Amino acid sequence: MGIRAIVFDAYGTLYDVQSVRLLADELCGAQGALVTQLWRLKQLEYTWLRTLMDRYEDFWQVTHAALLFALAAARIEATPARIDRLMEGYLSLAPYPETAAALEALRQHKLAILSNGSATMLEKLVLNSGLAPLFTEVISVDRARHYKPHPACYALAEAALGVTKSELLFVSSNGFDVAGARNYGFTVAWIERGAPQPDIPTLRDTYRLLRGREEQLGLAPEYRLQRLTDLVPLLRQL
């Protein structure tokens, strides 16, 4: 059977986690770039630690803890006002420029998000971006009480959408997520936002280089794309 559903990761795939940098610059001054990078890196690390330790908390709490770590590491005072404004920034992350056009072009398929984000975070994010009407389902790993790349997270997509693995295309820009989805048995398209750049890497590239590149686990994606709109010709082939 052909592809009936396309499931997207949210953070780093549809939405630019680096877009919080402008707010971090405003609130943290010269340390804004450092806070932005440490925050995201620690956020992911805490999801993996909590899954391994079987101490699940939702992604809002994980994001809050990671922010406290980043502010302390950058020697920025963690005032309630600063924390609240930065946390709110995660509810209004900017979609990548091609996100809306790509989703519109793929509307003949069931479209869904499968994300580490809590249900409330994801609901506000898709509403604030104006993309909510395009999705059949917005699935939080809260339902599994584990974080990606745990297999229980990927199993949520089949159940929510009423499709089998062979009818689903999973799309992510995060190397660990690509490996997790492939390990589960999904067909995977990798948006290579971490592709090598011609310039010398800077602090802003830290996350891209660590999380946006292919993991060396023997779980390569079937398809490698440069942007979300490349999914349109791919789906015609499939």
Any idea which residues carry the catalytic annotation?
9
SS3 at position 55: coil
Tell me which residue of 140, 128, 121, 14 sits closest to 63, measured CA to CA: 121
Q: Which of 166, 68, 176 is nearest to 116 (CA)?
A: 176
What is the spatial distance between Cα 232 and Cα 224, in angstroms, rounded to a whole number?
13
Grouping H, G, I as helix, E, B as strand and the rest as coil, residue 214 is coil
Structure tokens at 200: 């010398």
Q: How far is the C-alpha of 168 from the C-alpha of 175, rounded, in Å? A: 19
